[in-house]
């Protein structure tokens, strides 16, 4: 194996730089050619016959998604923490009935006398799971019955269907997306199950469904709202703590809700632009 | 197969304080700790090889081709870790056909593919003379394999060899950038997420690249020492000293930047700092102790080795010990970032404690198998394409 | 070089062939997925759908205070989930499927009505351990209209079934004379800090007076007044004011 020790490197520094330059130029030319080619490919893909089946009004029959802008409201002054919404959502949407996969959940904030930080629990707290008696059942336990409670309230949570969703941003394949009517959906037949979106959501709204091996989250019951119904959680709430409606309709419940209350959103500093509007939460609500 | 796919992942981690209900099952487990670790080994080994092939630093010649083979061996097993983790690995090619460019993960398929092609090309050029020689001498199926590998090029004239070296040099140079991209993107995956306070940092890509190089050089040292012992060949001391210098340089910068990140976080004391302090003192205290001690101790050792110009068996022995410690430190660092970040709840008001399962695809056994498998594959590659220079051949 | 060209060709070919047809139509996703998601059949149906199958219960329910509690909240609770125990035909024709009967009302009703921290005061709540000596809720309350007993009697919050039955409006009117000084002769108050009582809901007035009586709601004037009232008095005066017209406001 005759080797390089006897051959002087013919290149030298200038030669090396010129070669590097040529390499860069070639790479640049090749990649531009390639990207132009790819653009052409994409254009061809876009003009395929599929376009005819999918009109601008949206792919859902008898529903024009350009006409709606959905939003959700939560009135925490009314929520009684009955958890009917949590159960209804699981039944409606085939969510596994266990204590760690939720499309929506309820948190309780309890301030005790002499303390300025709240005790927070949800239906997934071990004490509450024990009180419920089975993993299929959800309730809040009566753990503060002997304590001096100064202030306490419930905060229902769900996917915020953000304006700039970080979960959509990080999906490597385009399996999650935001529709023109403002709903963030997941394509279960396309998701590869990498769980990057689960990490990216600042609100913990997403979970990994072990059965389908894809991620899942609240869809505002898209299959209901496109038929003129309300999401299941809104439908079953007995005290009108959840409000849903069309921002494009000035007389809708959600617009009425926004007009008549001081509204806040969760984690506004993230810049996500959430579309679930809360009334009555305080600064300790995470 | 079903048991392998589904057992263990339902483990919900215990927690204190308040965590979101969906957080109690950690989405990323040991496979995502091992994956950046393996790609880090790739990057580090490759940088050493490029020090010779591009910058012509002669003292690294004994390990240059060995480093290339190591890089390829580790790179081959990194995707296995990722594919084992995916819910639908059969759909993974979607990341190539419909890559979503706002996602750092989409970059992976392209960067890794580009880098793999580059690495294979560089290996081909660096080993071509030997491949040609073996194609002409080997018989049977091995002979056929070597003949295929020549890709029809049998020219071993001076001009052809110069052409080989030119290509190797350029590929090694471009490869440095590609390796930095390959591992930098992993750091970006974590650092760009505003949802996790433990990850969100501008320094994350830099820390990942630097610690990757440290781990890569350390593993190269160990591979060199072990392979030389097995082959009963001499270890080039000037090479070992060179590796010590590279290690020292990258290690001190790594430690400084990592320390900087912690100092800034603890200085700023933004909301949630109380939980971060509890995380450091709680679930990841052992991991952090390993990371810090197993970085500081080797740093001191290597400083002494270099300052006193230690040679001979002492040099090799202490470098080996340092390398083992550093590999542990970097693995601990990956654990602290990946798992620690998920143990800190997004509520900033709770902490989870993760215990990895033993079996199943997210289990410790499978992750260790992948890690060990890459070394086995390296052994296979070294048998196929012996990287030893003539001066290293055993007597 | 040829190798790279071959790889590039393979790549471009793959890009043409592999992506799903409905990708990139509206954005970086499959349009077909939206259609599929929207086509799922809803599980929860409007309670009106059950009015034909259960006319009597529906009539009671739709006029009572529980009309905000949809049928499937209590009746679906008897079933765990679509995954665990699919009801035959539920997806296709839910309104013709028999609603499952909840078993233990004492664990079902308390999910909303147990007194726990965090539940707002407007919500009727009970201390489960001491309420009704552990009897089933349905022993005293008609679940479709729980302010009435299963037999149809009104249940006063302060008193319970059998403690007096229906309210005596005339007696209530006599008692209300004492309220006029602050709350106005027809239950419409002229003073800003004293609320109107006319057409206020009876259970609410009963609850308020009871709370003043126990001191849970602290007010020196009302506390004294309420302490002088018996449970029957409270029920009667509350019924009187609840019956006054909502039309008058000033």
CB spacing of B94 vs A20 below 8 angstroms: no
Residues B206, B218: Cα–Cα separation, whole Å: 18
The more confident residue out of B151 and C66 is C66
Look at residue A13 in the predicted model and tell me its pLDDT: 53
Look at residue C96 in the predicted model and tell me its pLDDT: 47
CB spacing of C28 vs B98 below 8 angstroms: yes
**A90/A22 same-domain check:** no
Look at residue A35 in the predicted model and tell me its pLDDT: 53
**A114/A193 same-domain check:** yes
**A192/A262 same-domain check:** yes
**Is 60 exceeded by the pLDDT of residue B33?**
yes
CB spacing of C19 vs B117 below 8 angstroms: no
What is the value of pTM for the model shown?
Answer: 0.81
CATH of the domain at A139: 3.30.70.20
Put simply, whether A183 touches C (Cβ < 8 Å) is no
Look at residue A15 in the predicted model and tell me its pLDDT: 47
**A151/A195 same-domain check:** yes
Residues C33, A178: Cα–Cα separation, whole Å: 12
Q: How do residues B89-114 score in pLDDT, each as one tens digit?
A: 999 888 888 999 899 888 887 888 88
Six token digits for residue B227: 């392979």
Question: How would you write chain B as a 3-class SS string?
Answer: CHHHHHCCCCCCCCEEECCCHHHHCCCCCHHHHHHHHHHHHHHHHHHHHHHHHCCCCHHHHHHHHHHHHHHHHHHHHHHHHHHHHCCCHHHCCHHHHCCCCCCHHHHHHHHHHHHHHHHHHHHHHHHHHHHHHHHHHCCHHHHHHHHHHCCCCCCCCHHHHHHHHHHHHHHHHHHHHHHHHHHHHHHHHHHCCCCCCCCCCCCHHHHHHHHHHHHHHHHHHHHHHHHHHHHCCCCCHHHHHHHHHHHHHHHHHHHHHHHHHHHHHHHHCCCCHHHHHHHHHCCCHHHHHHHHHHHHHHHHHHHHHHHCCCCHHHHHHHHHHHHHHHHHHHHHHHHHHHHHHHHECCCCCEEECCCCCCCCCCCHHHHHHHHHHHHHHHHHHHHHCCCCCHHHCCC
CB spacing of C35 vs A59 below 8 angstroms: yes
pLDDT band at C205 (very low <50, low <70, confident <90, very high): confident
pLDDT band at C189 (very low <50, low <70, confident <90, very high): confident
Q: Which residues of B are less than 8 Å from A169 in CB distance? A: 102-103
A182: left (phi over 0), alpha (psi -120 to 50) or beta: left
Domain holding A33, by residue range, is 2-46
Q: How do residues B356-368 score in pLDDT, each as one tens digit?
A: 999 888 899 999 9
CB spacing of A175 vs C72 below 8 angstroms: no
**CB–CB of A236/C44 below 8 Å?**
yes
Q: Which residues of B are less than 8 Å from C33 in CB distance? A: none
Residues B271, A272: Cα–Cα separation, whole Å: 19
**A17/A138 same-domain check:** no
Name the residue with tokens 């020790």. A5
Q: CA nearest C112 in A: which residue? A: A82
Q: Which residues of A are less than 8 Å from C115 in CB distance? A: 142
CB spacing of B27 vs A2 below 8 angstroms: no
**Is 60 exceeded by the pLDDT of residue C80?**
no
CB spacing of A170 vs B193 below 8 angstroms: yes
**Is 90 exceeded by the pLDDT of residue A85?**
yes
**A62/A37 same-domain check:** no
CB spacing of C14 vs B96 below 8 angstroms: yes
Q: What is the secondary structure of A147-171 as a DSSP string? A: S-EEEEEEEEEE----SS-HHHHH-
Put simply, whether A94 touches C (Cβ < 8 Å) is yes
CA distance A165 to chain C (A): 14
Put simply, whether C7 touches B (Cβ < 8 Å) is yes
**Is 90 exceeded by the pLDDT of residue A36?**
no
- The arithmetic mean of pLDDT across residues A217-231, rounded, is 95
- The arithmetic mean of pLDDT across residues A226-238, rounded, is 94
List the Cα angle A133/A139/A144 in 5-degree steps: 100
**A145/A27 same-domain check:** no
CB spacing of B97 vs C19 below 8 angstroms: yes
Mutation to test the A interface, candidates C1, C4, C37, C78, most A Cβ within 10 Å = C37
Q: How do residues B50-95 score in pLDDT, each as one tens digit?
A: 999 899 898 999 999 999 999 999 999 999 999 999 999 999 888 8
- The arithmetic mean of pLDDT across residues A12-20, rounded, is 51
**A219/A244 same-domain check:** yes
Put simply, whether A108 touches C (Cβ < 8 Å) is yes
Those of residues 332-351 in B touching chain A at CB distance below 8 A are 342, 346-349
Residues C28, A198: Cα–Cα separation, whole Å: 19
Task: Identify the CA nearest to C142 among candidates C79, C219, C67, C38.
Answer: C67
CA distance A9 to chain C (A): 23
Which of C34, C40, C76 lies nearest to residue A59, judging by beta carbons?
A: C34
C162: left (phi over 0), alpha (psi -120 to 50) or beta: left
Select, from the ranges A11-15, A170-174, C188-192, the one with the highest average predicted confidence (pLDDT).
A170-174
Q: CA nearest C46 in A: which residue? A: A235
The more confident residue out of A268 and B395 is A268
In this structure, of A119-133, B40-54, C82-96, the range with the lowest mean pLDDT score is C82-96
**A38/A60 same-domain check:** no
The more confident residue out of B172 and B394 is B172
pLDDT band at C247 (very low <50, low <70, confident <90, very high): confident
**CB–CB of B291/B333 below 8 Å?**
yes
Look at residue C249 in the predicted model and tell me its pLDDT: 61
Task: Identify the CA nearest to B11 among candidates B30, B38, B37.
Answer: B30
Q: Which residues of A are less than 8 Å from B84 in CB distance? A: none
Q: Which residues of B are less than 8 Å from C16 in CB distance? A: none
**A264/A183 same-domain check:** yes
- The arithmetic mean of pLDDT across residues C21-29, rounded, is 88
Task: Identify the CA nearest to C243 among candidates C192, C193, C187.
Answer: C187
CB spacing of C28 vs B100 below 8 angstroms: yes
CA distance B117 to chain C (A): 9
For residue C63, the surrounding DSSP H or E stretch is helix C55-63
**Is 70 exceeded by the pLDDT of residue A234?**
yes
Look at residue B205 in the predicted model and tell me its pLDDT: 93
**Is 80 exceeded by the pLDDT of residue C163?**
no
**Is 70 exceeded by the pLDDT of residue B30?**
yes
Number of domains in chain A: 2
Residues B24, C27: Cα–Cα separation, whole Å: 33
**A202/A218 same-domain check:** yes
Task: Identify the CA nearest to A168 among candidates A157, A179, A158.
Answer: A179
pLDDT band at A34 (very low <50, low <70, confident <90, very high): low
CB spacing of B93 vs C18 below 8 angstroms: yes
Mutation to test the A interface, candidates C118, C120, C127, most A Cβ within 10 Å = C118
For residue A121, the surrounding DSSP H or E stretch is strand A119-122
The more confident residue out of A277 and C137 is A277
Q: CA nearest C82 in A: which residue? A: A91
Six token digits for residue B300: 């001191």
CA distance B19 to chain A (A): 8
The more confident residue out of C186 and A157 is A157
**CB–CB of B68/B42 below 8 Å?**
no
Mutation to test the C interface, candidates B90, B97, B102, B171, most C Cβ within 10 Å = B97
**Is 50 exceeded by the pLDDT of residue C133?**
yes
- The arithmetic mean of pLDDT across residues C93-103, rounded, is 60
- The arithmetic mean of pLDDT across residues A208-235, rounded, is 95
Six token digits for residue B334: 């990956």
Average pLDDT value for chain C: 79
Q: How do residues C99-117 score in pLDDT, each as one tens digit?
A: 777 777 788 888 899 999 9
Mutation to test the A interface, candidates B16, B21, B156, most A Cβ within 10 Å = B21
Q: Under 8 Å CB-to-CB from C247, ≥6 apart: which residues?
A: none
Six token digits for residue C246: 């909502």
Mutation to test the B interface, candidates C2, C7, C18, C26, most B Cβ within 10 Å = C18
Q: How do residues B251-287 score in pLDDT, each as one tens digit?
A: 999 999 999 999 999 999 988 899 999 999 999 999 9
Residues B229, B210: Cα–Cα separation, whole Å: 29
CA distance B174 to chain A (A): 9
Six token digits for residue A158: 């769900």
In this structure, of B2-16, B194-208, C187-201, the range with the lowest mean pLDDT score is B2-16
CA distance A60 to chain C (A): 5
Q: CA nearest B7 in A: which residue? A: A210
Look at residue C215 in the predicted model and tell me its pLDDT: 83
**Is 70 exceeded by the pLDDT of residue B329?**
yes
The more confident residue out of C3 and B352 is B352
**Is 90 exceeded by the pLDDT of residue A52?**
no
Helix, strand, coil shares of chain A, percent, nearest 5, are 30, 20, 50
Q: CA nearest B97 in C: which residue? A: C15
Q: How do residues B133-162 score in pLDDT, each as one tens digit?
A: 888 888 888 888 888 888 777 877 888 888
Q: How do residues A117-147 score in pLDDT, each as one tens digit?
A: 999 999 999 899 888 887 778 889 989 999 9
The set of chains that have 3 or more CB pairs under 8 A with B is: A, C
- Across the strands, what pairs with C208? none
Task: Identify the CA nearest to C83 among candidates A95, B6, A187.
Answer: A95
The more confident residue out of C249 and B325 is B325
Roughly what angle, to the nearest 10 degrees, separates helices B273-281 and B237-268? Answer: 140
Q: Count other Cβ atoms within 10 Å, centred on residue B300.
A: 11
Put simply, whether A242 touches C (Cβ < 8 Å) is no
- Across the strands, what pairs with A119? A110
**Is 70 exceeded by the pLDDT of residue A113?**
yes
**CB–CB of B169/A11 below 8 Å?**
yes
Look at residue A22 in the predicted model and tell me its pLDDT: 55
ipTM above 0.85, yes or no: yes
Look at residue C44 in the predicted model and tell me its pLDDT: 83
Backbone angles phi, psi at C182, to 5 degrees: -100, -35
**Is 70 exceeded by the pLDDT of residue A231?**
yes
**A157/A277 same-domain check:** yes
Six token digits for residue B14: 């215990």
């Amino acid at each position: 194996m005759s080797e390089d020790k006897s051959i002087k490197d013919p290149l030298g520094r200038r030669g090396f730089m010129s070669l590097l330059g040529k390499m860069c130029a070639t790479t640049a030319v090749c990649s531009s050619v390639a990207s132009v080619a790819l653009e052409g490919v994409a254009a061809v893909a876009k003009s395929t016959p599929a376009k005819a089946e999918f009109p601008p009004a949206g792919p859902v029959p008898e529903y024009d998604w350009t006409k709606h802008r959905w939003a959700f409201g939560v009135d925490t002054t009314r929520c009684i923490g009955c958890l009917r919404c949590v159960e209804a959502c699981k039944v409606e949407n085939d969510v596994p009935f266990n204590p760690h996969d939720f499309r929506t959940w309820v948190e309780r904030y309890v301030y005790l006398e002499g303390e300025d930080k709240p005790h927070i629990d949800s239906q997934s707290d071990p004490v509450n799971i024990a009180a419920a008696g089975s993993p299929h059942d959800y309730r809040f336990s009566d753990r503060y019955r002997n304590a001096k409670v100064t202030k306490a309230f419930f905060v229902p949570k769900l996917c915020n269907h953000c304006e700039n969703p970080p979960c959509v941003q990080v999906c490597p394949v385009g399996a999650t997306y935001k529709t023109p009517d403002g709903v963030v959906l997941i394509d279960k037949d396309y998701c590869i199950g990498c769980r990057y979106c689960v990490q990216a959501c600042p609100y913990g709204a997403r979970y990994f469904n072990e059965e389908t091996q894809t991620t899942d989250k609240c869809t505002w019951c898209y299959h209901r709202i496109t038929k003129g119904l309300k999401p299941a959680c809104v439908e079953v709430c007995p005290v009108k703590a959840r409000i849903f409606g069309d921002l494009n309709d000035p007389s809708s419940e959600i617009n009425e809700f926004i007009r008549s209350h001081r509204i806040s959103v969760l984690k506004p500093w993230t810049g996500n632009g959430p579309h679930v509007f809360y009334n009555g939460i305080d600064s300790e609500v995470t | 197969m079903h048991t392998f796919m589904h057992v263990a992942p339902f483990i919900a981690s215990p927690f204190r304080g308040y965590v979101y209900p969906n957080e109690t099952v950690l989405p990323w487990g040991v496979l995502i700790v091992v994956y950046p670790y393996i790609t880090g080994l790739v990057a580090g080994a490759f940088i050493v090889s490029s020090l010779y092939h591009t910058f012509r630093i002669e003292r690294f010649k004994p390990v240059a081709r060995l480093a290339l083979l190591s890089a390829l061996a580790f790179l081959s097993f990194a995707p296995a870790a990722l594919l084992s983790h995916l819910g639908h690995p059969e759909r993974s090619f979607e990341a190539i056909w419909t890559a979503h460019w706002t996602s750092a993960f989409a970059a992976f398929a392209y960067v890794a593919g580009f880098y793999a092609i580059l690495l294979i090309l560089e290996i081909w050029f660096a080993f071509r003379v030997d491949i040609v020689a073996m194609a002409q001498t080997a018989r049977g199926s091995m002979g056929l394999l070597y003949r295929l590998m020549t890709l029809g090029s049998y020219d071993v004239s001076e001009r052809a060899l110069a052409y080989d070296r030119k290509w190797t040099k350029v590929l090694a140079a471009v490869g440095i950038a590609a390796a930095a991209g390959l591992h930098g993107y992993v750091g970006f995956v974590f650092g760009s997420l505003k949802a996790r306070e433990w990850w969100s940092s501008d320094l994350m890509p830099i820390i990942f690249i630097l610690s990757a190089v440290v781990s890569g050089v350390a593993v190269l040292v160990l591979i060199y020492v072990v392979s030389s012992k097995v082959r009963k060949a001499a270890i080039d001391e000037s090479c070992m000293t060179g590796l010590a210098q590279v290690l020292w340089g990258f290690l001190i910068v790594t430690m400084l930047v990592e320390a900087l990140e912690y100092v800034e976080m603890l200085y700023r004391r933004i909301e949630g700092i109380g939980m971060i302090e509890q995380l450091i003192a709680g679930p990841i205290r052992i991991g952090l102790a390993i990371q810090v001690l197993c970085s500081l101790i080797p740093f001191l050792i290597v400083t002494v080795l270099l300052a006193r110009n230690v040679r001979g068996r002492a040099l090799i022995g202490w470098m080996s010990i340092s390398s083992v410690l550093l590999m542990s430190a970097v693995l601990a660092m990956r654990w602290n970032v990946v798992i620690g970040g998920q143990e800190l709840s997004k509520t900033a008001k709770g902490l989870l404690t993760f215990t990895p399962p033993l079996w199943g695809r997210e289990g410790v056994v499978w992750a260790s198998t992948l890690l060990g498998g890459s070394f086995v594959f390296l052994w296979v590659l070294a048998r196929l394409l012996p990287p030893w220079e003539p001066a290293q051949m055993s007597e | 070089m040829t190798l790279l060209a071959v790889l590039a060709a393979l790549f471009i070919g793959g890009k043409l062939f592999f992506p799903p047809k409905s990708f990139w139509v509206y954005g970086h996703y499959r349009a077909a997925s939206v259609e599929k998601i929207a086509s799922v059949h809803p599980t929860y149906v409007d309670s009106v759908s059950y009015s034909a199958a259960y006319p009597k219960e529906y009539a009671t329910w739709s006029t009572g205070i529980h009309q905000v509690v949809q049928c499937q909240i209590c009746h679906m609770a008897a079933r765990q989930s679509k995954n665990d125990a699919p009801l035959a035909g539920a997806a296709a024709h839910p309104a013709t499927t028999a609603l499952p009967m909840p078993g233990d009302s004492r664990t079902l009703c308390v999910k909303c009505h147990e007194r726990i921290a965090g539940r707002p005061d407007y919500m009727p709540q009970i201390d489960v351990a001491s309420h009704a000596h552990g009897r089933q809720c349905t022993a005293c309350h008609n679940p479709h209209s729980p302010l009435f007993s299963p037999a149809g009697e009104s249940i006063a919050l302060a008193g319970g079934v059998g403690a007096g039955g229906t309210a005596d409006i005339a007696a209530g009117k006599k008692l209300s004379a004492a309220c006029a000084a602050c709350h106005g002769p027809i239950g419409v108050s002229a003073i800003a800090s004293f609320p109107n009582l006319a057409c206020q809901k009876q259970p609410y007035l009963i609850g308020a007076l009871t709370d003043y009586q126990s001191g849970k709601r602290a007010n020196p004037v009302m506390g004294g007044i309420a302490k002088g009232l018996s449970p029957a008095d409270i029920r009667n005066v509350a019924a009187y004011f609840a019956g006054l017209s909502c039309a008058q406001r000033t």
